[in-house]
Amino acid sequence: MTDRLSPDATTSAPGAAADTTILDALDAAAAGDRGFDFYSARGALLESLPYARLREDARALGARLLGAGLVPGDRVALIAETEADFVRLFFACGYARLIPAPMPLPMAFGGRENYLAHIRRMIECADAAAAFAPAALKDWLAEAAAGLPLKLSGTVADIPETAAPADLPAPSPDDLAYLQFSSGSTRFPKGIMVTHRALMANATGISRDGLETTPADRCVSWLPFYHDMGLVGFMLTPVVAGLSVDYLSTRDFARRPMMWLELIARNKATISYSPSFGFELCVQRAATLDLGALDISTWRAAGIGGDMIRPNVLRRFADRFAAHGFRMESFVPSYGMAEATLALSFAPLRRGMRAETVDLDRLESGEAAAPATAEARTREFVLCGRPLEGHAIEVRDAAGAALPERQVGQVFAKGPSLMTAYYREPEATEAAIRDGWLDTGDLGYFADGEIVITGRAKDLVLVNGRNVWPQDMEWTVESELDGVRSGDVAVFSVDADEGEDVVALVQCRASAPETREKLATDVANLLRLRFGVPVTVRIVGAHALPVTSSGKLSRSRSRELFLAMKAAEA
């Protein structure tokens, strides 16, 4: 491997990236020999896109977009397939000073009509002037965008060859780099406005401080480009750091998860991330396979993010793949969100996952995150490190006062990589950003100076004066009842005559009435025993529980599903 062209990208002083853009980073990276490689589900190389060719293709494509009638500042909706044309279009928008807005692919079981309505709503929210899709979804896009005032729509091949003058004025650091739609915002999507300045601050912090990248590093990713962890973490940050990335599509990962690890082994990759469920899926699939000489010992930064971190899942992964070179100390728990571009904190490298067990009764009563005694009900939480340099995190009480260590409260963040605003959503922006601090919507506490996330504030269930975390109830059912898999349970509360009722929707793959009835009874009994809470259990079919565009369980939409079921029965 040759050295990265811009060695200062990950070694410069804080703020060194403040006056640059992602296009400056690509210009620098284009002088080297790194780039992006796209693989099939069976590991065949589909396309190689060196940064030099990406820069050349993107500049030419940007001129064609302007020649087709788009003007700087126009928003461009991009259905984000894991393929080279998406990357070309994203950077073409940058060179033309257009604003790309990545949009999700259809979910495996989401339903065609719901997807088309969702995409249409997102195009409208972005007020897009153009929309592009991979060839396989061209007809779907045409149907979703029918009647909308788009100047241009289709695939890359549909962009006219007529080009604007080759001189493309560069964007400024304070121009928008892209609009990122929050993965959980399905009914009312909000576009997160990220400037080049914020993007470069975050990407530099990730590569320099969080992951300490060097020219010897190589990345592998199956994370979708429409999610911040895939877009920023494994498309844009590698450009800033001058690293190569090997891609497997999210759909192909779901079908053949072991190909993720095979690519790491084959290309001696050092950095790759996943939510907990990705590690869990590999453990499940490995149980039926002969892994042979698989060697993933080069994997030095196995990042965890995008959802609540499940310690037991990570331990099982480390145990299962220890014989193949994986080291527990390679885990890097992280915390962040799209409103902060991506990352806010990283656990120290080479330490691995550090978890602590707290007294669940005291936590639910609002006292503190205190160490558990032998006889107490317990809950394990993972420490996610200290804030990135130049950023700050506070845990506050309901009145807005900062709390001391081990006191659970609302998590706020501040720093150079925060979003500018929600696009054309002044009220939502005002609610989210107060005096320069972002209300993350998360609950957490500090332990030894590191942030610990306990859950989403909106998901918290209040029962008889106790704060009950729904994921605790979900994970209890998944871990203690046979046949219940990860993601099969959604717990939430609904308004009742006297306070709140707790509801659990549980997916069941069996159709026999007696099997479904027994599962409902077992779930209700287990939750009453473990949490002292009466729970209304409803059994739904396989794949019935809604998920976000990033694959996470959506409790808010599960709640809507339950209320719709009740209304239909009334």
pLDDT tens readout for residues 284-296: 999 888 899 999 9
Question: How far does Cα 568 stand from its chain's mean position?
Answer: 34
Residue 267 near residue 218, CB atoms below 8 Å: yes
**Interatomic CA distance for residues 90 and 362, integer angstroms:** 49
**Interatomic CA distance for residues 149 and 423, integer angstroms:** 19
The residue from 407, 440, 457 where one domain ends is: 457
Q: Which residue has the higher pLDDT, 565 or 389?
A: 389
513 and 476 in one domain? Answer: yes
Residue 461 structure tokens: 């269930």
In this structure, the dihedral spanned by the alpha carbons of residues 189, 195, 201 and 207, taken in order and rounded to 10 degrees, is: 60
202 and 165 in one domain? Answer: yes
Enclosing H/E stretch for 228: helix 228-228
pLDDT of residue 5: 29
The residue from 233, 249, 265 where one domain ends is: 249
Q: Which residue has the higher pLDDT, 452 or 372?
A: 452
**Interatomic CA distance for residues 543 and 545, integer angstroms:** 6
pLDDT over 60 at 1, yes or no: no
Tracing tokens 């640059």 back to the chain, one arrives at 20
CATH number at residue 215: 3.40.50.12780
2 inside domain: no
Mean pLDDT of all residues in 156-182: 91
**Interatomic CA distance for residues 95 and 528, integer angstroms:** 58
**Interatomic CA distance for residues 309 and 276, integer angstroms:** 6
- Tell me the C-alpha to C-alpha distance, in Å, between residue 217 and each of 3, 10, 195: 11, 12, 27
**Interatomic CA distance for residues 312 and 203, integer angstroms:** 30
307 and 378 in one domain? Answer: yes
Closest by CA position to 61, among listed 80, 43, 84: 84
Residue 185 structure tokens: 């915002």
pLDDT of residue 421: 97
pLDDT one-digit tens code per residue, 122-131: 999 999 999 9
pLDDT of residue 91: 98
410 and 296 in one domain? Answer: yes
pLDDT one-digit tens code per residue, 271-325: 999 999 899 999 999 988 889 999 999 999 999 987 889 999 999 999 999 999 9
12 inside domain: no
| Residue 473, helix vs strand vs coil | helix
39 and 113 in one domain? Answer: yes
At 185, the pLDDT band (50, 70, 90 cuts) reads very low
pLDDT of residue 551: 65
525 inside domain: yes
527 inside domain: yes
pLDDT over 90 at 17, yes or no: no
Residue 181 near residue 128, CB atoms below 8 Å: no
Residue 274 near residue 303, CB atoms below 8 Å: yes
182 and 318 in one domain? Answer: no
485 and 428 in one domain? Answer: no
Tracing tokens 């994921």 back to the chain, one arrives at 471
- Tell me the C-alpha to C-alpha distance, in Å, between residue 35 and each of 32, 84, 109, 209: 9, 11, 33, 22
Residue 84 structure tokens: 């080279």
**Interatomic CA distance for residues 406 and 452, integer angstroms:** 9
**Interatomic CA distance for residues 174 and 25, integer angstroms:** 16
Exposure string over 170-194, b if 16+ CB within 10 A, otherwise e: ebebebbbbbbbbbbbbeebbbbbb
pLDDT one-digit tens code per residue, 513-551: 999 999 999 999 999 888 888 899 999 998 888 876 556
1 inside domain: no
Residues 6+ apart with CB under 8 A from 194: 176, 177, 178, 179, 180, 341, 419, 420
Amino acid letter, residue 366: G
Mean pLDDT of all residues in 233-242: 98
Q: Are β-strands 301-304 and 331-336 bridged in parallel, bridged antiparallel, or unpaired?
A: parallel
432 and 299 in one domain? Answer: yes
5 inside domain: no
Provide the mean pLDDT of the chain.
90
Question: How far does Cα 487 stand from its chain's mean position?
Answer: 16
223 and 91 in one domain? Answer: yes
Percent of the chain with pLDDT over 90: 71
The residue from 249, 276, 297 where one domain ends is: 249
| Residue 426, helix vs strand vs coil | helix
63 inside domain: yes
CATH number at residue 479: 3.30.300.30
Task: Give the domain extent around 538.
Answer: 460-569
Q: Which residue has the higher pLDDT, 165 or 318?
A: 318
467 and 450 in one domain? Answer: no
Q: Phi and psi for 32 in degrees, rounded to 5? A: -95, -165
pLDDT one-digit tens code per residue, 340-366: 999 999 999 999 999 999 998 888 888
**Interatomic CA distance for residues 318 and 313, integer angstroms:** 9
**Interatomic CA distance for residues 514 and 526, integer angstroms:** 18
* Proportion of the chain in helix, strand, coil states, percent, rounded to 5: 35, 25, 40
**Interatomic CA distance for residues 563 and 565, integer angstroms:** 5
263 and 150 in one domain? Answer: no
**Interatomic CA distance for residues 77 and 565, integer angstroms:** 34
Amino acid letter, residue 352: G
Residues 6+ apart with CB under 8 A from 61: 88, 89, 92, 156, 159
Mean pLDDT of all residues in 442-452: 96
Sign of CA dihedral 296, 301, 307, 309: positive
Q: What is the pTM of this model?
A: 0.87
**Interatomic CA distance for residues 536 and 502, integer angstroms:** 6
Q: How many separate domains does the chain show?
A: 3
8 inside domain: no
Residue 492 near residue 459, CB atoms below 8 Å: yes
pLDDT of residue 10: 34
**Interatomic CA distance for residues 523 and 20, integer angstroms:** 54
pLDDT over 60 at 16, yes or no: no
**Interatomic CA distance for residues 61 and 87, integer angstroms:** 11
Cβ of 399: how many Cβ atoms within 10 Å?
Answer: 5
118 and 215 in one domain? Answer: yes
At 15, the pLDDT band (50, 70, 90 cuts) reads very low
Closest by CA position to 19, among listed 195, 237, 251: 195
